[in-house]
Structure 1
Amino acid sequence: MIRLFIADDHAIFREGLKQILAEQADFEIVGEATTGNGLVERLATAACDVVLLDLSMPGRSGVALVREVAAAGTARIVVLSMHEERQYVIEALKAGAAGYVTKASASDQLIETIRKTAAGERVVSPSASQALIRQMLEPDLPHTALTPRERQIFDRLVGGRSVSAIARELDLSIKTVSTHKSNVLLKLDAGTTADLVRYAIARGLA
């Protein structure tokens, strides 16, 4: 039996995921968390084999959270992410993730990844691996220089969120978010949020 812990802040996605996993006779869901802080607290007492971890959650999140969970050494990590860009895949694996699956992947790919990582393998879903190969053959674009946290800010700005809304969502101060926003604008040679939106649309990031 493979004991699973799900960490994702989107209730609809989480419920759908549980339905899919519950159909597997060798899977048992032993816990859930909707924030990075909640995940760390629950893992201290919840014995599990594999953590299904969304990179973007309130509070602790991203590569830093992967690194913290991996350092505890109590479970292997499969990252579930909407991002295919190579910096996400590479950084997550470097931080200690055993698997990386995009949320666009078929359910059977996720199931196979869980079983393989539980058995000690490292797995990247086909959609993520193809994107990784494609981007490695292309010249680096400015957004690939963003740190994982800067990319979180970028995605939310492009999605129409305000600095204050982003601060609440990621449990950061407005000043910290504003600093990250300034760094994003600088790296992407943009003057305004509207410029970021145009950049994202032109490169298929929005």
Structure 2
Amino acid sequence: MAIKLLIADDDAFVREGFKMVLSMDESFEIVGDAQNGEEAVKFCENNIVDVALLDVRMPIKNGVEATKEICEKSKTKVLILTTFDDDEFINDAIKFGAKGYLLKSNPPEKIKNAIKMVNDGNAVIENVVLDKIKQNLKSSSTGKIDKTLFSEREFQIIESISRGLSNKEISKELFISEGTVANYITSILSKTGLEHRTQIAIYYLNNGAI
């Protein structure tokens, strides 16, 4: 079944470009488009949308504000696509529930793969964005993670996630199965109240805060 997509961007040229590229792939179905965050929120409330592709800088409601409402009011997963890797938006977008944060400059295949990953419940964030988060948090963190919450193995996995490793890479590094890694991540999410692996990375890098 095709992944139902909403494309939200205030630039009509960008919207049409994404629609043209993605509609050529039978894996996707474009069910709507929006030119601002408010339109995106209303569409997701009233229609079945699997993944919403949101620009950050939009009028009326920006992509971060729209992300918060979409995640609160619908089952739609949000993938942020932007031409900017702005420090001011990244943390909030992820905190409010965005499952991915990519630059629009990525090739179409990478964006398509990211959409599929987000639809499957995975989080996607590219290295240039993760590096921004690390830089910001290193200069502002003052807290300390309570290590007593986690087993030694769980903490190893938290640290590995913060380095951007996939489950497959973690399993190879720690000599355990991918299924075991996934089980540990589920436990970590439960203990911290977080929702996905990108938030775990921020939790670690921000010394226990998000």
Q: TM-score, normalised by structure 2?
A: 0.60
- Which residue does the alignment assign to 1:109? 110
- Distance apart, 1:60 and its partner CA: 1.5
| Contact 1:85–1:135 under 8 Å retained in 2 | no
SS of 2:47's equivalent in the other structure is coil
1:50 pairs with 2:51: yes
- Partners of 1:49 and 1:122 in 2: CA distance: 14
1:9-48 mapped onto 2 (5 Å cutoff): 9-48=10-49
- Distance apart, 1:130 and its partner CA: 4.2
Q: Could you give the per-residue CA deviations for residues 148-205 of structure 1, whole angstroms, max 9, x where no partner exists?
A: xxxxxxxxxxxxxxxxxxxxxxxxxxxxxxxxxxxxxxxxxxxxxxxxxxxxxxxxxx
SS of 1:44's equivalent in the other structure is helix
- Distance apart, 1:48 and its partner CA: 1.1
State the number of aligned residues.
139
- Which residue does the alignment assign to 1:192? none
1:115-130 mapped onto 2 (5 Å cutoff): 115-130=116-131
- Which residue does the alignment assign to 2:84? 83
| Contact 1:82–1:103 under 8 Å retained in 2 | yes
SS of 2:52's equivalent in the other structure is strand
Query: Structure 2 counterpart of 1:42, which letter?
Result: F
Structure 1 residue runs of 5 or longer lacking an equivalent are 141-206
SS of 1:108's equivalent in the other structure is helix
Structure 2 residue runs of 5 or longer lacking an equivalent are 141-210
Alignment CA distance shift 1:133-1:107 (3 Å)? farther
SS of 1:111's equivalent in the other structure is helix
Query: Structure 1 counterpart of 2:22, which letter?
Result: L
Query: Structure 2 counterpart of 1:21, which letter?
Result: L
- Which residue does the alignment assign to 2:157? none
- Partners of 2:133 and 2:28 in 1: CA distance: 29
- Which residue does the alignment assign to 1:66? 67
- Which residue does the alignment assign to 1:98? 99
- Partners of 1:90 and 1:70 in 2: CA distance: 15
- Partners of 1:81 and 1:57 in 2: CA distance: 10
- Distance apart, 1:68 and its partner CA: 0.7
- Partners of 1:129 and 1:107 in 2: CA distance: 21
- Distance apart, 1:97 and its partner CA: 0.4
- Distance apart, 1:44 and its partner CA: 2.5
SS of 2:81's equivalent in the other structure is strand
Q: Could you give the per-residue CA deviations for residues 82-133 of structure 1, whole angstroms, max 9, x where no partner exists?
A: 2213442221100110111112222222111100000000111344234444
- Partners of 1:101 and 1:20 in 2: CA distance: 17
- Distance apart, 1:61 and its partner CA: 1.6
